[in-house]
Structure 1
Amino acid sequence: MSDKKRFNTVFLSLVLVVAFSLVALVVHKEEPAVIRINLLGYRPDSPKIAVWGSMSDQPVTRFQLIDEQTNQEIQNLSVGLAFGEYGPFKQTYRLDFSVFRKSGHYHLQTDDGTRSPSFRIGEDVYSGKADFCLRYMRQQRSGYNPFLKDSCHTHDGYTMYGPMPDSTHINVSGGWHDATDYLQYVTTSANATYHLLAALRDFPTAFGDTHQANGLDGANGQPDVLDEAHWGLDWLLKMHPTDDWLFNQLADDRDHVGFRLPKEDAFYGKGFERPVYFATGKPQGLFKYKNRATGVASTAGKVSSALALGYQMIRKSQPTYANKLWQRSQSAYKLGLEKPGNSQTAPGRAPYFYEEDNYTDDMELATIEQLNATGATGVQATKWQNTALEFARREPITPWILNDTARHYQWYPFVNVGHVELAKRLLTRNRKTVTDFYKSGIDIIWKRARQNAFYRGVPFIWCSNNLTTSFATQCFWYRQLTGDKQFTALEQANFDWLFGCNPWGTSFVYGLPANADTPIDPHSSFTILNNYPIDGGLVDGPVRGSIYGNLLGITLHEADEYAPFQSKVAVYHDDYGDFSTNEPTMDGTASLIYLLAAKHTEKLTPVRRTGGQQKGKQPVKKLTRVTSIDPKSTYFSGAKIRGDTTVRRLALVFTGDEFADGGSTITRTLRKHNVRASFFLTGRFLRNPTVALLVKQLNQDGHFLGPHSDQHLLYCDWTNRDSLLVSHKQFVDDLRANYAALARFSTLKNTKKVFLPPYEWYNDSIAVWTKAEGIQLINYTPGLLSHADYTTPQERNYRSSATILQSIRTYEQRKQAGLNGFILLMHIGTASSRTDKLYNHLDELLTELHQKAYQLVRVDEL
């Protein structure tokens, strides 16, 4: 970064700090109390708890459950006992409405007027969420990256510390990048692979098939989660290529040179190759700092377990490949027995590394997976079980539970998976011994948790969200193994914490749920450099205030919108400068995929399949994907989202419903540049007499006029896209009414019938219904921020015109196809509170596009 750019960045940050601090103070004053809920929603038969927190010690006594559709009070309940201070709050209560089970959309409010965000109750509130998080896993792929449609790190790598001469080339390209950096660790990759495979084994109905093995769109006959696990298995085989060769790590912290998209890195001294560290079981570190490795078993056990489970999952469908997995699983297990101890990652130029200090949990799981893979019975099975039980007794409770602090990844994984798999194989007394190990750990957390309204007992150390996910999974496994439900509320509280029932009121998963408070400025090169969404990524999570205060290198780049909710107890920032709390991790996301799959599957009401239709109910129809008739265009869920990428042309699209303040400016600018654009207008807009002359002028100038829903309906749920909010009849009647309003201005003769859905939000059913009307559904091309021109400075997702224009320029410069085929969406008008109008920059934008030789066409011609 140049000195000038650094100065400008610092100056802008200071200005933003002052401006947003004033906003934060206003928010603090206007919101003396808040209600925190699970933004994903609640299943009807699950515990349903929200937390009320106040900046004063003023109590409340009752709260109400309000129907969002009718605004009617459904229940009036007591808040129960006061929990007192916690974090930023001086008083807290748990609002328990578990007795209510009816599906629908609701919000809570207390008798002091505090209102919660809206939420949903329904059997399917968690459906599809595990698949959503797989998006982040695909984005983390090394080798071929399907998100970027490009390859990176294809020259990996050169060996260090191995039995071969240092700098020997070995092909280990592939796997997943660990986090925002592009280091790759066998320990986290093996754990992630195991969790993905276990999720498919335990909850097969939680996953769909919409992607190919390479991660690109298109079904391939097997669940996407298996495609992703396969990617991990392939890399583990490369890192354990022979019986006695096991590598532990690819690259080191020389990677931390700055933000960049994954590419061929050339700063390790040997071209584009990166160092591959052999698992020696002894301290390593090429420079000043060394780790404290004592053995190989912690890595070998994880590798053996993942490969053994992979063998079990695909031995029938891919026998040759599965046999290779089994062979390497056995050799890794042997290495673990021969070299007990902990294999830590190697530091580079900084004293930071994964300081794993336990291994018996890994060998416990590896042992039981050897038994599961062989299918042994009788004496041999007993021998395997006794070996696994011996390992289990050496670490009954995962050590982080016993401590309130830990070094980075000191005890990993954060849940002992071996206990659940061993317990499944044991009977009577020994089974209870193992399940009691889980119970003892849960009891320890419960003693801490029951003291506060959030039931928070997991320590606020680095990667606290990973620990929270793992602990919720441990509670789930204990309940499943024993039927003991005494910790159900604690289990739910840890799950709720991840999705908004926390002091900050935010979900910690990027983009989940949609249209809610989730990270928007994570410590991720994808978002920082290109505004690419990192859908499904679980960020590290809050840390203790004292930990944050002692960290070096953290600088917030924007004002802290959560400032009123920071405390000595815990700190969280949605700011890319905070790598301690807001960096997504691959292995944490994989663990969350398992938990979400469990939540998706648990006690779902089955769909009754009969030969006829039940009285009073519509038959359940399987959604079908609309296939494109134009092979040069790009489609998503039946909607065309991009035209031919080989031709240098694009379509400029404007939508209008409530506002039209940009109409005259847009019309004049388009006429100046001789550009024909496309306008999708609601019936409400078209019937507004104040815009009649504008619409007539647009039609006379040759612009395309299309429908945008008569009443600007919301077709499907923001948090569950497959959940329709309109019937087929409502949809058709509304769309036809929109066309009737359009007919006053345009006959639409000799043009394709094209429809852009309201809110740009739809699902496969909407696409099918649109096609049945003889109309093509379209949507804007993702990747730019132009559609955010409606946001206002008061909103967290506000994007200035300068930011939006820069996103267009950056995308155009860095993508091989540029803006070819783009459907670029803006709004014909915005709220008066947004004074920075993007349409005032339209002349500038069109000038740049013409200079770059783009042809702008109507969307029906694209």
Structure 2
Amino acid sequence: MIRFYANQAGYLPKGRKIAVLAQENRADEMEKMKDKKVSLWNEKGEQTAVKQAVYAGVDESAEDKVWHIDFSDLTEEGTVTFQDGEGAVLGSCIIGRKAYHTLNQTLCKALYFQRCGMALEETFAGKFRRCTCHTGTAVRLEDYLERKENAKQYEVTGGWHDAGDYGRYTTAAATALAHMIYAQQLFPESFTENLNIPESNDAMPDVLSECLYELRWLLKMQMEDGSVCHKLTSMRHANFVMPCEDKRQMILFPASTMAVADFAAIMALASRVYRTWEPAFAAEAEDAAVRAWDWLMQHPQFIGFENPAGCNTGGYEDTSDLDERLWAAAELYVTTGNAAYLDKLEDYLKTNENPTDMGWVDVSGLAGLSCLFGAKKKEAKETQRFQVCQQKFRQAFLNEADKICDIADVSGYFVALTKEEYGWGSNMVVLNRAMILAVAHLLTGEARYQKMAQAQMDYILGVNATGYSYVTAVGTKSCQNPHNRVTVSDGIDETIPGFVVGGPNSAPVDEKAEWLITPDTPPMKCFLDVWECYSLNEITIYWNSPAIFVAAFLDADIV
């Protein structure tokens, strides 16, 4: 049977438009290996084009034979219906200049639904309204374990729930915030509309208001000595109850050097971005960043993090903090112009041969964004040194973008994942690589980078071997059952729109997925829209944030 896949959010009139036909590569599926004629029809019932569906071979990750339908020259807005040579409908898609603008609004608004410590009122949340949650104080881990009487209480309300659980984590928060803030800075025209959040109609763009809600909470994670707690969670994940029903004791877990450096970086970035709208906050953020940096300099050795016995909330463990220190040095230098930070930027950059990643494990690419796009003119004596750093970042991004293109070029679905890379959160890898492609396009203006970034979003939005749009409630076959305590517990049939789910995982670790996915399933097809499958279908803020960056890039229509 022939299957049809298209981007379910829609295609831009002037953009790349490729749909895919697919068929399992089995001996009993003997479709001839030849090109196919496909007719395209508009909403008026008029035939607008006849295209060749060009055979592209077998996709290794899906074990599918695939054909490509390139209709990039079609610019008329509206619904396009595809028919085979016998007049049977294969599928349809939409062409519209607002396709990515609408998507970006939905992705951003999803972060509002992750807010902790406040009621989500019907005016802003509609049917997904809920009461205030997690308003109690927190204690430090050592006091909790010792059952210390009269332990110091910390006011830590606010921020976003990190994922399908109710924890809040410093490294995750900093990464997601950086994606969103840089997206707004680089593509401001994509963030001009009202998100219908409580802060709407202020002078500040709504996406920055949403980020500010998270940033104000993040400031509370810094301790008196400048260190920053790794995470704020209970000892065990909450049951599947609504947030306001989770009454477990919140605990501040000890500092890690990764968390402190990430905090320093995002606060330095925030301090320069928010100066226009929130000068008092900007000053506080810069001071917090400097205090965190000072603590780092007093602790030059790596301090990692491991969950204590009995704790099962997210660990966000790492084996090095050099990339986090690199990012912190870059942001602080760009923000303050203090040459001492440039010294450290140069030192840390020498330790990183490929500073392009922008996920929470490796944030070195965020240092590149700071140096390449956040910097203003420097003092003459520092200019040459800084330009050397900029050039290293530039070349690294271009080299990595070329590698990403090479991977995507041999995929029948144009996705930048090898067969071995379908792991937990594979959609994050796709989106982070799309970010790198977007950066490469910004640096060079080369159209192929923009087109390949578009291809990665096509994959996320339905051009994949499962046919799912991996963004909840976006598309005709979108994920409806994410691993998210709110959507499982709220008693509402519809799911909250706009969350990116983790995606295919050829080595799932949850019991349901291990049971339902057979060992011989091709990697790209190792996915289920089942809420129990947390290693396939969970949500998290740092899976939404790169999607926001890429959607804004595409919406800006930079060709």
TM-score, length basis structure 1: 0.56
Distance 2:442 2:159 in 1: 32
Q: Distance in 2 between matches of 1:133 and 1:200?
A: 13
For 1:438-517, list aligned pairs within 5 A: 438-458=397-417, 459-513=421-475, 516-517=476-477
Task: Go from structure 1 to structure 2 and tell me whether the alpha carbon gap of 1:66 and 1:220 turns closer, same or farther (over 3 Å shift).
Answer: same
- Does residue 578 of structure 1 match 2:533? yes
1:169 aligns with 153
Q: CA deviation at 1:53?
A: 0.7
CA 1:170–1:442: 2 relative to 1, 3 Å:
same
CA distance in 2 between counterparts of 1:410 and 1:429 reads 26
- The CA deviation at 1:161 is 4.4
Cα distance per residue 1:613-638 (max 9 Å; x no partner) = xxxxxxxxxxxxxxxxxxxxxxxxxx
For 2:131, which of 137, 150, 154 is the aligned residue? Answer: 150
Task: Measure, in 1, the Cα distance between the counterparts of 2:253 and 2:185.
Answer: 32
Equivalent AA in structure 2 for residue 602 of structure 1? D
Counterpart amino acid of residue 221 in structure 2? M
CA 1:339–1:163: 2 relative to 1, 3 Å: farther
Counterpart of 2:361, as a letter, is W
Residue of 331, 347, 353 corresponding to 1:396: 353
| Offset at residue 235 of structure 1 (A) | 1.0
Are residue 195 (structure 1) and residue 195 (structure 2) matched? no
What displacement does 1:443 show? 3.5
Specify the alignment match of 2:80 in structure 1.
106
Q: Is residue 421 of structure 1 aligned with residue 370 of structure 2?
A: yes
Q: Deviations over 1:183-220 (max 9, x none)?
A: 111111122222222222222222246467xx448533
SS at match of 1:487: helix
Q: Distance between the aligned counterparts of 1:585 and 1:511, measured in 2?
A: 16
The number of equivalent residue pairs is 526
- CA deviation after TM superposition for structure 1 residue 326, in Å: 0.9
Aligned letter for 2:530?
A: D
| Number of the residue aligned with 2:164 | 180
In structure 2, what is the Cα distance between the partners aligned to 1:253 and 1:595? 35
User: Cα gap change, 1:168/1:452 in structure 2, threshold over 3 Å: closer, same or farther?
Assistant: same
> In 1, distance between residues paired with 2:59 and 2:19?
16
1:262 and 2:236 aligned: no
Query: 1:164–1:507: structure 2 CA closer, same or farther, 3 Å change rule?
Result: closer
The answer for the alignment partner of 2:289 in structure 1 is: 329
Q: Does residue 57 of structure 2 align to residue 83 of structure 1?
A: yes
SS at match of 2:455: helix
- What letter corresponds to residue 501 of structure 2 in structure 1? V
Q: Deviations over 1:675-730 (max 9, x none)?
A: xxxxxxxxxxxxxxxxxxxxxxxxxxxxxxxxxxxxxxxxxxxxxxxxxxxxxxxx
Deviation at 1:226, TM superposition (A): 1.6
1:385 is displaced (CA, Å) by 4.5
Seen in structure 2, the aligned counterparts of structure 1 residues 209 and 434 have a Cα distance that, compared at 3 Å, is closer
Provide TM-score, normalisation by structure 2.
0.85
Contact 1:128 1:207 in 2 (8 A): no
* Aligned twin of 1:270: none
Query: Structure 1: how far apart are the matches of 2:422 and 2:86?
Result: 31
Task: Give me the whole-angstrom Cα distance separating, in 2, the residues matched to 1:339 and 1:93.
Answer: 56
Q: Which letter does structure 1 place at the counterpart of 2:213?
A: W
> What is the rounded CA distance, in whole Å, between the counterparts of 1:478 and 1:385 in structure 2?
24
Name the SS for the 2:19 alignment partner: strand
CA deviation map 1:43-101 (0-9, x unaligned): 23322112211123523413435123133332223333522244454411222222333
Task: Give 1:265's aligned amino acid.
Answer: D
Q: Deviations over 1:224-252 (max 9, x none)?
A: 21221111111111001434232111114
In structure 1, distance between residues paired with 2:165 and 2:87: 45
The equivalent of 1:133 in structure 2 is 107
Q: Secondary structure at the match of 1:118?
A: strand
Structure 1 pair 78/275, CA: closer, same or farther in 2 (3 Å)?
same
Counterpart contact for 2:4–2:22, Cα < 8 Å: yes
RMSD: 3.2
User: Counterpart of 2:11 in structure 1: which amino acid?
Assistant: Y
Tell me the residue number matched to 1:727. none
Q: 1:84 to 1:174 in 2, by over 3 A?
A: same
Deviations 1:365-384 (A, max 9, x none): 2222212322x3xxx56x64
Give the Cα separation in 1 of the matches to 2:446 and 2:194: 37
Taking the aligned partners of 1:71 and 1:468, their CA distance within structure 2 comes to: 36
Distance 1:457 1:342, change over 3 A: farther
Higher relative contact order structure (alpha carbons within 8 Å, sequence separation ≥ 6)? 2
Aligned with 2:537: secondary structure?
coil
Counterpart residue number, 2:207: 225
Shift in alpha-carbon separation, 1:421–1:411, aligned structure 2, 3 A: same
Report deviation, 1:567.
2.6
Q: 2:94 aligns with which of 104, 117, 120?
A: 120
What residue in structure 2 maps to residue 818 of structure 1? none
Question: Is 1:159 paired with 2:140?
Answer: yes
Which residue is equivalent to 1:598?
Answer: 553
Which of residues 474, 480, 485 in structure 2 aligns to 1:525?
Answer: 485
Note the 1:592-671 alignment, pairs <5 A. 592-603=547-558
Structure 2: stretches of 5+ with no match in the other structure: 376-382
CA contact (8 A) 1:523 1:579 kept: yes
Letter in 2 for 1:233: L
Kindly provide the CA deviation profile for residues 420-471 of structure 1, in whole angstroms up to 9, marking residues without a partner as x: 3223458876544322212333333344333221122322111111111111
- The CA distance in 2 between the partners of 1:436 and 1:138, in whole Å, is 37
- TM-superposed CA distance for 1:157, in Å, is 0.4
Q: CA separation in 2, counterparts of 1:517 and 1:579?
A: 20
Distance 1:116 1:400 in 2: 38
2:220 is matched with which residue? 238
Instruction: Determine whether 1:248 maps to 2:230.
Output: yes
**1:54 equivalent among 4, 7, 23:** 23
Whether the 8 Å CA contact 2:36–2:52 is kept in 1: the answer is yes
The answer to whether the 8 A contact 1:131-1:225 is kept is no
- CA offsets 1:710-756 (integer angstroms, 9 cap, x no match): xxxxxxxxxxxxxxxxxxxxxxxxxxxxxxxxxxxxxxxxxxxxxxx
Return the letter of the residue paired with 1:316.
Answer: T
How far is the alpha carbon of 1:348 from its aligned partner? Answer: 5.1
Structure-2 separation of matches of 1:57 and 1:536: 39
- With over 3 angstroms needed to count, the CA separation of the structure-2 counterparts of 1:338 and 1:60, relative to structure 1, is farther
Q: Are positions 1:316 and 2:276 aligned together? A: yes
Q: Superposition pairs for residues 602-751 of structure 1, below 5 Å? A: 602-603=557-558
CA distance, structure 2, for counterparts of residue 360 and residue 72 of structure 1 = 59
Q: Is the 8 A contact 2:510 2:533 kept in 1?
A: no
- Choose from 220, 243, 250 the match for 1:274: 250
Secondary structure class of the residue paired with 1:510: coil
Unaligned 5+ runs, structure 1: 1-31, 268-272, 282-295, 402-408, 605-862
2:369 is aligned with 1:411: no
Q: Take 2:272 and 2:71, find their aligned partners in 1: how far apart are those partners?
A: 43
SS at match of 1:506: coil
Deviations 1:791-841 (A, max 9, x none): xxxxxxxxxxxxxxxxxxxxxxxxxxxxxxxxxxxxxxxxxxxxxxxxxxx
What residue in structure 2 maps to residue 731 of structure 1?
none
**Deviations 1:134-160 (Å, cap 9, x if unpaired)?**
222111111114244421111130112
SS of residue in 2 equivalent to 1:127: helix
- Which protein is bigger by CA-based radius of gyration? 1
Q: How does 1:771-850 map to 2 (within 5 A)?
A: none
Q: Is the 8 A contact 2:227 2:260 kept in 1?
A: no
Is the contact made by 1:162 and 1:278 (CA closer than 8 Å) also made in structure 2?
no
Residue identity (%) = 21
Q: CA deviation at 1:598?
A: 1.9
CA distance 1:449–1:590, change in 2 (3 Å): closer
